Structure formats: structure tokens, C-alpha cells
Amino acid sequence: MSGMSENKILSAFIQKLQEKTARIGIIGLGYVGLPLLEAFSRKGFAVTGVDINPERIQQLQRAESYIQDIPNPMLAQVCAQASTLFTTDFSSLSACDAIIICVPTPLRKSKEPDISYILSAAEKIAEFLHPGHLVILESTTYPGTTDEILLPLFQAKGLDIGKDFMLAFSPERIDPGNQSFQVSDIPKVVGGVTQACTTAAEKLYHQVMEKVHIVSSARVAETSKILENTFRSVNIALVNEFAGICRTLGVDIWEVIDAAATKPFGFMKFLPGPGIGGHCIPLDPHYLIWKSRLHGYEPRFMALAEQINSGMPREVLQLIVEALNGIKKSLNGSKILILGVAYKPDIDDVRESPALELIQLLWSKGAQVAYYDPFVSELQIEKQRLNSIEISEGLLKTFDCGVVITHHSKGVDYSQFCKEIPLWVDTRNALRECQTENTHILWL
């Protein structure tokens, strides 16, 4: 198939953006894809949302949101546009001018990358790829995925990169529940396979984002995302290890951190915790570790940070045992209340939450476990379903020990919990202000 000139395809794409006649397709309508789709719709673009989950599509068609950052009234405005389409039919992508892939990228049990969702989406795109398309991958992945996996797959259609279609990578930076930074507020990193690809992606994102940062290649953009989250992972691991040292020395880690944070330069405040959760920080470093090992480089520092962070639920388990021993109780048969199961405060997302592993560890030791979380009404752990307890008079007093895992700022009366459960393990420094003479707290 003869290709168009690189300037011609780019000019035609930019003109559609300027005229607001471009249709934007989003594959994967989760916490990344749906807010991005809403942002383009709000700017006057026709949008197509594709997801393999038919129940999710039906909810969207009824303007019922399952994403906390997209309330129903906001989704209703998207659905009110006649040009909006939510579908499971990938053939609808043929009518799109830009296609953005926002699918999950989990790890296998071996901790190796699982890019099957990316591959599945790319194969569907390849069926309907035609001259003029811009395809952007946003899913976090290992460096080289765009060039080594997507590009050959699309070129096999007989289309020329930069002349018939354009391809780029732009890492997602959504922070669920963060009201200070919405989609349009977060600078976007963009790296294309060719200069025309980069320019097209830059012009697209400039429609909804204030700042777009251009890098020299898709590989650089892919690597930058992993650096962002690895930076957080290793610093969390450092402060988690520091917390263990402080416990050994009889020093309050929280007071130490507050003191260090008064330095106006050269220090960034990180907090210890029961482990790391969410889709990014626990998973992303493994993508680079795996890729590095393929090239004969052993990333020792990153691997050690992962070991420390992934071991924190067991550290918390030991603290619970220590706390119960202090009142001459065995963990086996004790009633334990987990306070907060979301992976971070004020959201309903439990992906990779350390609470999940801790609950399983407690079960394995014979403990009876319940939880309270105002944002998470029910929880599925393996084949068991748990519901957040409904607090009634006298119920809290039946628990032998409480464990703070997530420090929600809403929906939790910490004073009441402290008053009625006398023994606590606090991994988030949440109970400092409500501690009483009758409350014994073991701090992380």
C-alpha cells in the first residue's frame, strides 16, 4: 500500500483537531481511560469508549459511573452528547482518528510482565487500522513495548509508520481520588516512534492538557514512567526499613520524619506503612527489573526495595502477635478488626492493597477477621466475601485488637474506635490524637 507523505498525514490530523472533527477512541474504561474520555468530550470532541466488559458498557450507557473521580452528573454530560459511543465492538475504532490504549498491565505470579491486554487491544486495532490513524499506548509497560511489539504488528498491515499511521507512547499519570490534580492539570509526557508521531500526540494532548513534555522516543517515555514509580517505591522501602530500626532503638519514627521534614532542601517526606498498593508502585518496578535482566543487568537496589515493601504485611502480622502477647492472648482465636482496606485514603480501590495479604495471613494463623471501611462496602479475597461491619452499640468492644491499615480522612470516628477497642496496631499514625490512658497502641 503506497503511503501518504509524513507532512500530509500530520497536517490532516492537526486540521481535524483544530476543527474539532476528530473522533477520539479510548480502549479500556477504567480509572485511566474514563477520565481521559470525559476530558476529550468536555472539550467538544466526539468520543468512542471501548471495553471488553459488557456490564461496564451498560452502566456507562445508563450514565452510571463506577469511577469515583467521574460522578454521575459528569458522566451524564458525556452521555448527553449525540456523538458519544460506549461499546464492546472494536470495529467502531475504524471511525476514530486517534486511538488511546488504557488497558491493565498486571504481573504474572512469577513477577514477569503480563502484556496480554496490550497485545489483545493492539491486535484488534490492527484489524481496523487505516491511513490517518494515530495510536497511543498509555498502559505502563517495559521499555521497548511500543517499538518492539506494537510497531511490527501494525506494519504487518502494509502501512508505513509516519506516513500512513502514527504511533506514540504517553504514560498515564492519573492519581485516583486526588482532587488537586485532575487529568488536565497533570503534565503529559509524549514520545513518538517518528517526529511526526510525536507532534501528532503532542497536538492531541494539548487539547485537554495544559502542559505536554516531549521526549525523543517512545522508549524514553516508557522508561520515565517506571522511574517515577520506582523512585517512590525505593523511598518508601527506605522509610519502612528506617521504621524497623527506630522500633529497635525505641525512637518514634513519626517524630523523626516530622523533624527531618523541617529541612527546606535536600529532603522529601515519605511515610512508612503496611505495604504498598495500587496498580503502579507494587508492579511497575518489576517491568524494568525483568527487562534489565534480559539484557544481563541485575538491578539490585530496586529488587531489594521490592523485598522490603512486599514483606511489610508480615511485619504488621508480627506487631499484632506482639500486641496480643502483651495482654496474654494468642493470635489463634482472637478477633481482629482491620480499619481501612483501600490501598490509600479516601478512595474505594483495593487493588494490591496490603490489607488483602494481611487478612489472609491472619486467617492462616487462626484469627477471626472483620473490617471497617467507609469507602469499600464489600471485599472478595480468594473465594471468601467480606462486608464492612455496620457499627452498632457494643460491637467494637468484642474485638481483641484493631489494626489501622488505611487512614481515611472521612467516615471514620477514630476517637470512638480508640475508646471501644483498647488494643491497637497503628501503621499510619492515625490514632495519635485520640489515644487515651486505657488505649495501648503499638506503632509501626
Pick one of 3.40.630.40, 3.40.50.720, 3.30.2270.10, 3.40.50.20 as the CATH number of 6-216. 3.40.50.720
pLDDT of residue 2: 43
Domain(s) labelled CATH 1.10.1040.10 in the chain stretch across 226-309
Burial string for 39-55 (b: 16+ CB within 10 Å, else e) reads bbbbeebbbbbbbbeee
| Local confidence band at 4 (pLDDT 50, 70, 90 cut-offs) | low
Residue 280 annotated to the active site: yes
Compute how many other C-beta atoms are within 10 angstroms of the C-beta atom of residue 319: 20
What is the per-residue pLDDT across 268-307, written as a single tens digit (0 to 9) for each?
999 999 999 887 788 888 888 999 999 999 999 999 999 9
Find the range with the poorest average confidence among 28-32, 178-182, 250-254: 178-182
Domain(s) labelled CATH 3.40.50.720 in the chain stretch across 6-216, 311-443
* CATH fold group of domain 226-309: N-(1-d-carboxylethyl)-l-norvaline Dehydrogenase; domain 2 (1.10.1040)
What is the per-residue pLDDT across 416-426, written as a single tens digit (0 to 9) for each?
999 999 999 99
What is the per-residue pLDDT across 138-193, written as a single tens digit (0 to 9) for each?
999 999 999 999 999 999 988 899 889 999 999 999 888 888 888 888 999 999 99
Residues 294, 339 contacting (CB under 8 angstroms): no
What is the per-residue pLDDT across 217-242, written as a single tens digit (0 to 9) for each?
999 999 999 999 999 999 999 999 99
* The domain made up of 311-443 is a member of CATH 3.40.50.720: yes
Question: pTM higher than 0.75, yes or no?
Answer: yes
What is the per-residue pLDDT across 19-28, written as a single tens digit (0 to 9) for each?
999 999 999 9
Given the residues 280, 401, 418, 434, select the one marked as catalytic: 280
Mean of the per-residue pLDDT values of the chain: 94
- Region 115-128 average pLDDT: 96
Cα dihedral value 186, 189, 192, 195, nearest 10: 100
Residues 74, 66 contacting (CB under 8 angstroms): no
